[in-house]
Structure 1
């Protein structure tokens, strides 16, 4: 059987949800069926080591990701931007020198930000797929005109009803609507549970207080500023609890300074980045999501695997994952909404037990095998 030749493009393989989902997908594809080139702009990130050996891993630049604007880093960042732009402006150089003139059957933008790179491909006969992991309607710069460009792809994969419905509204024909396919990101349940058994060194909290955990890159979109304000308000009202935030990012120092200014050093901790947050998730009593926007918040799916009561802001993907509130508490996307959600869990033990029971009795739709099978079918039939 002739193997299908596929090119997949992504920025890097850092510690992000889309990157993790892509690697999970690749690890579960049959190597006898596909010949895959994975091209990363920056050869960096914790998931590099998890790419299967049979995947041809190519890159534009090697080096660590730069998340600050220190004067000494500006020349390096400028060079990287110009180098990447060169291949976007003159794509024939990329396909000749980096990809060695290889011909592809399918080309995939693994994140929405790579849409220009795939659409600029000189290989006009390849089928093109874009995988939209984020709520593009909430991202600055993604105007209607920009999003309309996505309809130049043969398939548009979206990960929530909200994004799908938004794309439907922009579609000009039934054919364009037919190109939009909702999929569930694959989550490796067994691997997640196995990793949660790792021992925690120096757990930062006492055992006798309810603990909320939140996991994610520390960007403004995650709403950790709102979360700390809510935590402070609940503590001041006498509702004792602990808050653990796991993740790193360019907003880390800002949020840490806010924590210190609010005097929350004893009850809230910024753990920073860890490659394995699952032991902390397993140990926590509740999961709280304070995000201003997301696409498909993979960590919510993982919290469901651990049967955790969840309170989450009403963002893209949440109603799909929590089945319109049956499996968790969906709050208004505001500081007051986050406050009401956390307060419910701290004052109503029956509610938390009810959510645990519902989760335990539900067959979760994002299990690895089903999602990978669906994605394969899309690639095979495009």
Structure 2
């Protein structure tokens, strides 16, 4: 049997849920069936989770690269993609059975420069593009729509992500659409969660959040919720794991609210699981979510989950069956934290429900869908 040659294109391999989802998928895919390569747009692979049997290529060292800045400037400001196209095609000289952009934005943009290098072109959509069309800023004019319209198929991590996408882009019926949740490696998560943490001490009831420090993640609401809790005399700590463009603003908000003693920005952690395990609650304060992988990771650790009312939260938590869903406000977040802190039996029950919810991330079911998407050579 001839192996199916697949190239995945991803912005980077550190940080977000989509990046982690790709690493989990690469690990699970059959290396006897698929000859897999990955084009990483930004990063030198240091500190990333490299999967055996996968070939990696890097386009730019990071997004501060002078060459990248010039090339992106020519595209965004002068509508001239020639340099970006040349650099991408130089890195992707070969032909593949399938090329996959595994994320919106730059992943799809660079994919569009090498559409002719594959028999089939597929793209993954992870987010709600009505509420959070963040990818639009990476394209000029109708280029994003043209790129999606040229694909052979689009994969969505949830039905809602598909519904929202189709409100923004009206694609031909010839472009096949698939629903495919992400894979979660429960064994690895539980194992990694046992590693020793030395940079922070658990001293009281603790709430942990993991995600990019961006406005869409709603960490400003967490800061205000912390202020409410402190003012009412509730002793809690918040651990926020991640980096992003809003870090400076968040630090100012934390200082201004007088909660720098209980809200801790811990930065990026290659292994966030020990922090999640040690915490009493996992909190998602997002304003929009597609199908957040971190919810499944929290479920593997049996963590009670509190989430603001986003479609991703409603989907994974099954309208509140596997976790607590609250209104998108600091007072609602503070209220449920107080309730769970005071009611130990309710807290334990939420942890049990969380563990039950992890069944939706079964690896074999996901791999069957991926095989139908990618196909395989005879």
What range is the shorter-chain TM-score in? Answer: 0.7 to 0.9
User: Which of 321, 332, 339 is matched with 1:344 structurally?
Assistant: 339
Q: CA shift at 1:27, angstroms?
A: 1.6
Is residue 2:192 matched to residue 1:195?
Answer: yes
Q: Which residue of 1 aligns with 2:161?
A: 163
TM normalised by structure 2 equals 0.86
Question: d(CA) in 1 for partners of 2:123 and 2:147?
Answer: 11
Q: Which residue of 2 aligns with 1:281?
A: 276
Question: d(CA) in 2 for partners of 1:87 and 1:10?
Answer: 22
Identify if the C-alpha distance between structure 1 residues 184 and 93 changes in structure 2 by more than 3 Å, giving closer, same or farther: same
Question: d(CA) in 2 for partners of 1:326 and 1:379?
Answer: 33
Identify if the C-alpha distance between structure 1 residues 336 and 256 changes in structure 2 by more than 3 Å, giving closer, same or farther: same
Is residue 2:298 matched to residue 1:306?
Answer: no
Q: Does 108-117 or 188-197 show the bigger shift?
A: 108-117
TM normalised by structure 1 equals 0.85
CA RMSD of aligned residues (A): 3.0
Partners of 2:85 and 2:110 within 8 A in 1: no
Q: CA shift at 1:14, angstroms?
A: 2.3
Question: d(CA) in 1 for partners of 2:211 and 2:200?
Answer: 19
Q: Which residue of 1 aligns with 2:104?
A: 112
Matches within 5 A, 1:1-382: 1-44=1-44, 48=48, 50-62=49-61, 64-66=62-64, 78-79=69-70, 81-82=72-73, 88-89=81-82, 93-94=86-87, 97-100=90-93, 102-113=94-105, 114-121=107-114, 123=116, 126-137=119-130, 138-140=132-134, 142=136, 146=144, 150-169=148-167, 175=173, 179-206=176-203, 209-362=204-357, 364-380=359-375
User: Deviation per CA, 1:43-71, whole angstroms, max 9, x where unpaired?
Assistant: 335564x3334322112222x454xxxxx
What stretches of structure 1 of length at least 5 have no aligned partner? 67-72
What stretches of structure 2 of length at least 5 have no aligned partner? none
Question: d(CA) in 1 for partners of 2:268 and 2:88?
Answer: 35
**Number of residue-to-residue matches in the alignment:** 369
Identify if the C-alpha distance between structure 1 residues 307 and 203 changes in structure 2 by more than 3 Å, giving closer, same or farther: same
Identify if the C-alpha distance between structure 1 residues 52 and 169 changes in structure 2 by more than 3 Å, giving closer, same or farther: same
Q: Does 323-332 or 258-267 show the bigger shift?
A: 258-267
Question: d(CA) in 2 for partners of 1:297 and 1:17?
Answer: 7
User: Deviation per CA, 1:303-342, whole angstroms, max 9, x where unpaired?
Assistant: 1111111110122321221111100011122334323332
